[in-house]
C-alpha cells in the first residue's frame, strides 16, 4: 500500500510523539520535527508508510540519542497483557468456537499500537473484539489453511500484543515461527519483547531483519525472505505488516484492527473494524 | 497564546487542506507540504498560531498560484447561513432572553471554521448551542458593558459566521464597527464576505489590515490599532482572534466554540464547549 499526502501530517504527529518518548527536552523535540521537515521533499509517496516510517524513526533515534524511546511503554504493555492472560485463556477454552475466539482476542491485542495514537484502552478493546462483528472474516479459508499446513509463519506486530498472539498460537496447535523486528521501532515487538510475552515457550522466534515498523520484504534479511517464500501459511498482524505486504502476490492472512482511515479505505472497512482477511487464498 | 509543538502536525494538516482547495494537482499539493517542511525550522513557537498561519497561508497562495482557495466554500457558507437567518431571527425574538439566545447563535456560527477541520454540521451546531450549557459565561459583565458603552467593536471571524454575527448585532442595538480581515486567509471573512451577509446594512465594516487568520495587533493597520485602543467594548469571535488577543491587557469579550484541544486547555474547557469569556472586565 502506497503512502499518500494525508500520511504527512500523521508522520509529524508520530515523530512528535516518538520524540516526547525519547526526551523531555523540547528543543530536541522541535529539532526532530525540523529534521523531518527537511527530509520531507526527499520522501517519495511511492513508498509504503512503513518504508517512510523506518527513515523517520531512525532519524528520531539519531536526533534524540535514544535508541529505544518506547522501551518502558513496551514493557508495561507486555505486563498489562500478561495480567490478562489467565482470564483470556479461560474465555477461549470455554467458548463455543475457541479458534475464532482466539482470533478475536489476537486482533483485540492489535489496539496496542503507539504509532497510530498515543493511548489505547486494552480492556475495552478486548470486550469489543469479543462482541463485534468482523468487517471481513475469511474464517473458512483460514481454517482450511490451518488444517492443511504443516507449519505457520506468524508475523507479529507490537509488544504486548505478543501475549495475545501467544493465545492464538497455543490454540492453533501447529509448529509456529514467530517473526519480530530486528531493531526497536515505535512499540513494535523485538525478540526481547516476544520472550517477555513467553512466545519462546511455544514458537521459534526469528527476526525479519528490518527496523521498519512493518514488513517490507525489500528491507528484510535474505533468511527471512526465504522463510516467507517457502511458507505454507502466513499470518500477518496489524497495519504496518498490511501496508508492507498487501500488494504481495503470495497467500497471506491479515489480522488487524483498522485504526487509520486510509488503511480502512484500502480494506473497504471503517475505522474501528476488526478484520481477518485472506489474500490470494 | 503561544504556539506549541502540537501545532506543527496541525499546520501540515491545514496546509494540505488549503492546497487541496487551491488546486487539484497532487504534485503542487506535495510541493506545498515540502515548502512548509523547509519553513519549519524558521518558525518560532514563541509566535501565536495565527502569526504562523499567516506565513503558511501566504506560502500556500504563492505556491499554488490561487489567491483565495476557499472562495467558493466561503460563498456557500454565507448562502447556507442566510437561508437559516429567518428561522434564527424568529428563535431569538421568541426566546425568554433574546440577547443570550443571540449570543448562543453567534457562537454556533463559529463552527464554520475550515482551518480546524474540513467539514462541519451547521444545523447541528445551532441545535447544540441553543441547548448546551456554557463552559464559561460572563454574561452579567457582558450585559453591563453593553448597557454602558456607546458603541461596540465587533471582530468577526469566518465567512458565513458573519450572518450569525449580524443576528447578535441586531439584538445589541448599538452602533457597531465590524472588523474583517484585509486579505483572504482560510475562510476568514473579508469585507466582501461581510457585505454578502448583509453586515453593511447594520454596521460599519472596517478591515483590521491583516492577512493573518486572527487578530495580532502587531500585524494590523495603524487605523485598526487606534480603533482597538479607543474601543469601549470589544467582542472577538473565534479561536484565531482568541489566540491573537488572549494575552492582551485590554477588556475584551471572546465568543467562541472550542474546537482545538490546546485552546480548550488554555481556556480550561473541553473541546466542543461554548464560551463567552471576558478578560480584564
Give pLDDT, residue A114.
76
Measured CA to CA, the distance from residue B20 to residue B42 in angstroms comes to: 24
A125 pLDDT band (50/70/90 cuts)? confident
Give the pLDDT confidence of B95-107 residue by residue, as tens digits: 999 999 999 999 9
CB contact A6 to B (< 8 Å): yes
As a whole number, mean pLDDT of residues B122-147 equals 93
As a whole number, mean pLDDT of residues B13-37 equals 97
CB contact A10 to B (< 8 Å): yes
The set of cell numbers assigned to B216 is 495580532
| 8-state DSSP, B259 | -
Q: How far is A116 from chain B (nearest CA, A)?
A: 13
Give the right CATH number for A71-279 from 3.40.50.10880, 3.40.50.720, 3.60.60.10, 3.90.1300.10: 3.40.50.10880
Whether the per-residue pLDDT at A281 is higher than 90: the answer is: no
Whether the per-residue pLDDT at B116 is higher than 90: the answer is: no
Nearest CB among B12, B34, B38 relative to A12 is that of: B12
Give the pLDDT confidence of A182-233 residue by residue, as tens digits: 999 999 999 999 999 999 999 999 999 999 999 999 999 999 999 999 999 9
Nearest CB among B5, B26, B40 relative to A37 is that of: B40
CB contact B12 to A (< 8 Å): yes
Closest CA to B200 of B234, B163, B229, B253: B163
A96 in helix, strand or coil?
Answer: coil
Give pLDDT, residue A118.
67
Nearest CB among A5, A16, A34 relative to B16 is that of: A5
Whether the per-residue pLDDT at A260 is higher than 80: the answer is: yes
Mutate to test the interface with B, among A9, A17, A31, A39 (most CBs of B within 10 A): A9
Measured CA to CA, the distance from residue A157 to residue A127 in angstroms comes to: 21
Q: Give A16's contacts in chain B (Cβ within 8 Å).
A: 5-6, 8-9
Give pLDDT, residue A117.
72
Give pLDDT, residue B43.
94
CB contact B136 to A (< 8 Å): no
Measured CA to CA, the distance from residue A230 to residue A228 in angstroms comes to: 6
Q: How far is B149 from chain A (nearest CA, A)?
A: 45
Give pLDDT, residue A21.
95
Closest CA to A8 of B164, B31, B98: B31
Whether the per-residue pLDDT at A32 is higher than 70: the answer is: yes
Asked if A240 and A215 count as a contact pair (C-beta separation under 8 A), the reply is: yes
Give pLDDT, residue B118.
67
**A112, HSE (Cβ side, Cα atoms, 13 Å):** 32
CB contact B65 to A (< 8 Å): no
CB contact B132 to A (< 8 Å): no
Give pLDDT, residue A129.
86
Give the pLDDT confidence of B158-208 residue by residue, as tens digits: 999 999 999 999 999 999 999 999 999 999 999 999 999 999 999 999 999
Strand partners, B236: B155, B254
- Residue A127's φ and ψ, nearest 5 degrees, are -55, -50
Asked if B137 and B107 count as a contact pair (C-beta separation under 8 A), the reply is: no
Measured CA to CA, the distance from residue A77 to residue A56 in angstroms comes to: 23
Q: How far is B97 from chain A (nearest CA, A)?
A: 43
Give the strands of the sheet with A252-257, arranged side by side. A134-137, A274-279, A252-257, A234-237, A152-155, A176-180, A204-207
Give pLDDT, residue B178.
98
Q: Where are the alpha helices (DSSP H) in B25-95?
A: 26-39, 49-64, 71-94
Q: Tell me what percent of the residues of chain B surpass a pLDDT of 90.
A: 91
**Predicted TM-score (pTM) of this structure:** 0.93
The set of cell numbers assigned to B107 is 457562537
| 8-state DSSP, A134 | E
A96 pLDDT band (50/70/90 cuts)? very high
Based on the number of CB atoms within 10 Å of its own CB, is B28 exposed (0-12), middle (13-18) or buried (19 or more)?
Answer: middle
Q: Tell me what percent of the residues of chain A surpass a pLDDT of 90.
A: 91
Closest CA to A109 of A183, A42, A63, A159: A159
B117 pLDDT band (50/70/90 cuts)? confident
Measured CA to CA, the distance from residue A202 to residue A48 in angstroms comes to: 32
Q: Give A37's contacts in chain B (Cβ within 8 Å).
A: 36-41
Q: How far is A107 from chain B (nearest CA, A)?
A: 29
Give the pLDDT confidence of B210-245 residue by residue, as tens digits: 999 999 999 999 999 999 999 999 999 999 999 999
Measured CA to CA, the distance from residue A3 to residue B60 in angstroms comes to: 22
Task: Give residue A186's region: left, alpha or beta (phi > 0; psi -120 to 50).
Answer: left
The reply to whether residue B41 touches residue A38, judged by beta carbons under 8 angstroms, is: yes
Give the pLDDT confidence of A36-79 residue by residue, as tens digits: 999 999 999 999 999 999 999 999 999 999 999 999 999 999 99
CB contact A55 to B (< 8 Å): no
As a whole number, mean pLDDT of residues A122-140 equals 91
Give pLDDT, residue B278.
97
Q: How many CB atoms lie within 10 A of CB B207?
A: 17
Q: Tell me what percent of the residues of chain A surpass a pLDDT of 70.
A: 100
Q: In sequence order, which residues have a C-beta less than 8 Å from that of residue A145 and are 6 or more positions away?
A: A232, A233, A251, A253, A278, A281
As a whole number, mean pLDDT of residues A141-159 equals 97
Q: Which of A113-117, A123-127, A256-260, B183-187 is least confident?
A: A113-117
Strand partners, B277: B254
B235 in helix, strand or coil?
Answer: strand
Measured CA to CA, the distance from residue A43 to residue A56 in angstroms comes to: 10
Q: Give A13's contacts in chain B (Cβ within 8 Å).
A: 9
Q: What is the mean pLDDT of chain A?
A: 95
Q: Where are the domains of chain B?
A: 7-64, 71-279
Q: What is the mean pLDDT of chain B?
A: 95
Amino acid at each position: 500500500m502506497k503512502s499518500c499526502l494525508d500520511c504527512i501530517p500523521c508522520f509529524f504527529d508520530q515523530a512528535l510523539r516518538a520524540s516526547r518518548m525519547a526526551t523531555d527536552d523540547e528543543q530536541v523535540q522541535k529539532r526532530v520535527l525540523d529534521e523531518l521537515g527537511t527530509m520531507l521533499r526527499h520522501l517519495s509517496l511511492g513508498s509504503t508508510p512503513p518504508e517512510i516510517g523506518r527513515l523517520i524513526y531512525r532519524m528520531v533515534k539519531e536526533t534524540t540519542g535514544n535508541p529505544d524511546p518506547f522501551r518502558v511503554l513496551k514493557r508495561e504493555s507486555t505486563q498489562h497483557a500478561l495480567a490478562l492472560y489467565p482470564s483470556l485463556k479461560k474465555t477461549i477454552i470455554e467458548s463455543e468456537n475457541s479458534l475464532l475466539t482466539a482470533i478475536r482476542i489476537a486482533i483485540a491485542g492489535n489496539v496496542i499500537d503507539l504509532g497510530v495514537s498515543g493511548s489505547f484502552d486494552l480492556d475495552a478493546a478486548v470486550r469489543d473484539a469479543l462482541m463485534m462483528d468482523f468487517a471481513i472474516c475469511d474464517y473458512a479459508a483460514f481454517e482450511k489453511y490451518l488444517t492443511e499446513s504443516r507449519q505457520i509463519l506468524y508475523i507479529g506486530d507490537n509488544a504486548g500484543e505478543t501475549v495475545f498472539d501467544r493465545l492464538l498460537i497455543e490454540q492453533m496447535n501447529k509448529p509456529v515461527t514467530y517473526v519480530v523486528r530486528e531493531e526497536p521501532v515505535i512499540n513494535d515487538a523485538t525478540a526481547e519483547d516476544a520472550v517477555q510475552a513467553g512466545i519462546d515457550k511455544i514458537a521459534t522466534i526469528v527476526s525479519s531483519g528490518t527496523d521498519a515498523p512493518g514488513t517490507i520484504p525489500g528491507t528484510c534479511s535474505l533468511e527471512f525472505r526465504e522463510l516467507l517464500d517457502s511458507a505454507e501459511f502466513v499470518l500477518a498482524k496489524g497495519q504496518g505488516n498490511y501496508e508492507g505486504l498487501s500488494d504481495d502476490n503470495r497467500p497471506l492472512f491479515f489480522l488487524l484492527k483498522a485504526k487509520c482511515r486510509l488503511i480502512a479505505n484500502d480494506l473497504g472497512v471503517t475505522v474501528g473494524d476488526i478484520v481477518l482477511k485472506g489474500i490470494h487464498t
